[in-house]
Amino acid sequence: MSAADFRRTLSRDDGFDRRQRWLRRLHLDLPLLALVLLTAAYGLVVLYSALDRDWLAFQGQLSRLAVAFVVMLIAAQLNLAMLQRWAPVLYGLGMVMLVLVLLVGVQAKGAQRWLGVPGLPRFQPSELMKLAVPLMVASFLADRPLPPTGKTVAWVLALIAAPALLIGLQPDLGTAILVAAAGFAVLLLSGLFWRWVLLAGLLGLAALPGLWMVMRDYQRQRVLTLLDPESDPLGAGWNIIQSKIAIGSGGLFGKGLFEGTQSHLNFLPESHTDFIIAVLAEELGFLGVLGLLTLYFLLLTRGLYIATQGRDTFARLLAGGLTLTFFTYLFVNVAMVSGLLPVVGVPLPLVSYGGTSALTLLAGFGVLMAVATQPKPLAA
């Protein structure tokens, strides 16, 4: 029980205790559930505006979120030990599918990301890897002495690099970054020596020119655009200029819900997907964004807290890794939309329009709840 829960226990009578037991039986973590619901609700309000009050599209997103919540509830019931055993299988399956995507995948918008199985909705294996990679890494590390040895780290890096590269080849830089970040997060939490992290960071910096060489033209353009968006105001710089105008013109209190001129007059591209925080910033202002970031921060805090309370190393690594993945999502997205990072396709978690990413995210929260509710042998 967290300190907050404890205080609540004091202020209320034993009815709370009963509820607590009831929640535990359902494998639900009330603070996490409340925060997720709150964030999703807030996100839906913004999305409704970003969709130009298109009720039909909004309903579609509502039903997708409902499905994702069901998936979260199911994921919360998973047995952690079983999850740890099945992690390599899931990972292997994901790798096979990633290879298949590159060979026989469906193309859209210049990238090959989907697997089309007749009779089933299109499926994006890279999304699965957002969960499978931290699972695999956590499972792998949990079996070994920690902090990890160099050999272990090398293995983990390979486990991370293989799917990240395959996804990068699609090409889908955003997802590749998220998948890699998920793996690294687990590695960091496992107690990886800081000096190695530092060394890797320096090596990474040294490798930047090499990275530049292998980047595709449009990716290079995005980096250049970040450095000087005004150099091509109607072309590559358009997105970032318009999103900065949208955010900046919102001011402290915003232009009012549904009143955003940048978003509703189509100056802001991708306003209901990757750039949705610009809509929030324009219409509800700095305070509106601050509210969302606060919710995110509370979610992250709760996630990390759950991780520290995990019943064993696997549970802790997994929960911590998923939490940090969530952080990577939101940080990359907000930093990109506000012009701190180059444009990569990363949606704003729990807010952006789209079903697949919501599904993965909520499945992740489900796993977090599983960690929160499966008691430590000691605490039981």
* Contacting positions for other proteins (CB under 8 A): 81, 84, 142-143, 145-147, 185, 188-191, 242, 244-252, 261-262, 265-267, 281, 285-286, 289-290, 293, 296-297, 300-301, 304, 307-308, 312-314, 316-317, 320, 324, 327, 331, 334-335, 338-340
Task: Give the nearer residue to other proteins in terms of CB position, either 170 or 323.
Answer: 323
Cβ atoms of 321 and 178 closer than 8 Å: no
Task: Give the nearer residue to other proteins in terms of CB position, either 46 or 247.
Answer: 247
Q: Could you tell me which of 21, 60, 28 has the C-alpha nearest to residue 44? A: 60
Task: Give the nearer residue to other proteins in terms of CB position, either 176 or 281.
Answer: 281
Alpha helix locations (H) across the chain? 3-11, 15-25, 30-50, 55-76, 80-104, 125-142, 150-168, 173-189, 194-214, 217-227, 238-250, 261-264, 276-308, 313-337, 356-373
| Location of structure tokens 């499966």 | 374
Distance in Å, CB of 292 to other proteins, minimum = 10
Distance in Å, CB of 225 to other proteins, minimum = 17
Task: Give the nearer residue to other proteins in terms of CB position, either 171 or 339.
Answer: 339
Task: Give the nearer residue to other proteins in terms of CB position, either 125 or 285.
Answer: 285
Task: Give the nearer residue to other proteins in terms of CB position, either 71 or 289.
Answer: 289
- Phi, psi at 13, each rounded to 5°: -90, -165
| 3-class DSSP assignment, residue 123 | strand
Distance in Å, CB of 14 to other proteins, minimum = 31
Distance in Å, CB of 87 to other proteins, minimum = 12
Distance in Å, CB of 117 to other proteins, minimum = 34
Distance in Å, CB of 349 to other proteins, minimum = 13
Q: Could you tell me which of 85, 75, 60 has the C-alpha nearest to residue 28? A: 75
Tell me how far apart the terminal alpha carbons of the chain are, to the nearest angstrom: 12
Residues 141, 121: Cα–Cα separation, whole Å: 34
